[in-house]
Amino acid sequence: MSKRIVYHQYGNPDVLHLDDEIVASPGRDQVLVRNELIGVNPIDWKLVAGFFQRTDPAPFPGTPGWASTGIIEAVGAGVTAFSVGQAVIVDSRARLAVTSGSRAGTFRQYLVVDTRQIVPRPPEVGVEQAAGLPSSAVAGYSMIHHLGVTEDDTVLVHGAAGGVGSAAVQVAVARGARVVGTASPDNHDYLRSLGAHPIDYRADIVNAVRAFGPITASADAVGGAASVSATVALLPLGGRAVTAWGDAHSEAARIPWVAHPNDELHQVATLAARGQLTVRIADILPLADAAAALKRVKAGHNRGKILLRPE
């Protein structure tokens, strides 16, 4: 038997509880992963709360989680690119059916996933870093990739100290771009350490950025009227903008959060292996404390990623 976190109805994180399950066998093109650490992301509490129940209803009982890292324990028929004993990183955002038709929620000890949902874990990337990469870091990479950022760009990153924003900063810096990022003052030293020029998000962003210099692209990891208005005011004709959220409507391009191919996860893992992308880790909690972890992520203001360790 194995342990997993389940919920039988939408609600606040208190609907989550630890439950037993039989360890499933991988089917064709699937692998069984023994999770070592599990990443907790904002999307997890939103899914549990039912934010997407109209467009993407969850099967009950559901298991949250999109991110983890672990060791392959078994492989299914047709699997040739992965082997037993191999360390992998899991990003189950492809939302492929697994086990009893349920989705590949990662909040569990053992996880059956499609091979399209995993990439090899580079030996240079530690377990904690690997667990923190899927979802937030991939979203940050995706924004910079979709913007086509090069060394000729100056990029404004809204919410630059968060999981998505800090990844966007690091990817842009790795591509040789100049970066200016918004964050609270207590995160300004952190942004400087990443190679970005910090700006207080509570200040007059438009004038502060103009004092820094003209921008050519904007990556919005916050969403909302303030960041969108600042972006529109600052971008020149032909400038590019992208947001990870839906608040921007038609004023900026929007990146879908569903079905990212694992080539983006592979690129993120490669950057991490080169030391060009790191994830701040705030805390590691036992799997049984998943509800507490989601409450902390929902409340915000965590300095880094919260991880879960299967018992």
Pick the CATH number of 140-254 from 3.40.50.1860, 3.40.50.300, 3.40.50.720, 3.50.50.60: 3.40.50.720
pTM to 2 decimals? Answer: 0.89
- pLDDT tens digits along 245-275: 654 433 444 444 444 457 899 999 999 999 9
For residue 214, whether the previous peptide bond is cis, meaning omega lies within 30 degrees of 0, is: no
Q: Which CATH superfamily is domain 2-132+258-309 in?
A: Medium-chain alcohol dehydrogenases, catalytic domain (3.90.180.10)
Residues in contact with 90: Cβ distance below 8 Å, sequence separation at least 6, in sequence order? 33, 35, 67, 68, 69, 70, 104, 106, 111, 113, 117, 118, 134
Angle at 168 between CA 162 and CA 170, to 5 degrees: 100
- pLDDT tens digits along 109-125: 999 999 999 999 999 99
Other beta carbons within 10 angstroms of residue 307's beta carbon come to 24
Contact 103, 97 (CB under 8 A): yes
For strands 240-243 and 253-254, give the pairing. Answer: parallel
Coil, strand or helix at 239:
coil
pLDDT (average), residues 236-249 = 76
Coil, strand or helix at 133:
helix
- pLDDT tens digits along 154-171: 999 999 999 999 999 999
Helices (H) and strands (E) in the chain, counts: 9, 17
Would you state the pLDDT for residue 99?
39
Other beta carbons within 10 angstroms of residue 101's beta carbon come to 7
Would you state the pLDDT for residue 103?
57
- As a whole number, the mean pLDDT across the chain is 90
Residue 236 above 50 pLDDT? Answer: yes
* Domain segments of the chain as ranges: 2-132+258-309, 140-254
Tokens for 125, please give them: 């990337």
Coil, strand or helix at 124:
coil
Q: What confidence tier does 130 reach under pLDDT thresholds 50, 70, 90?
A: very high
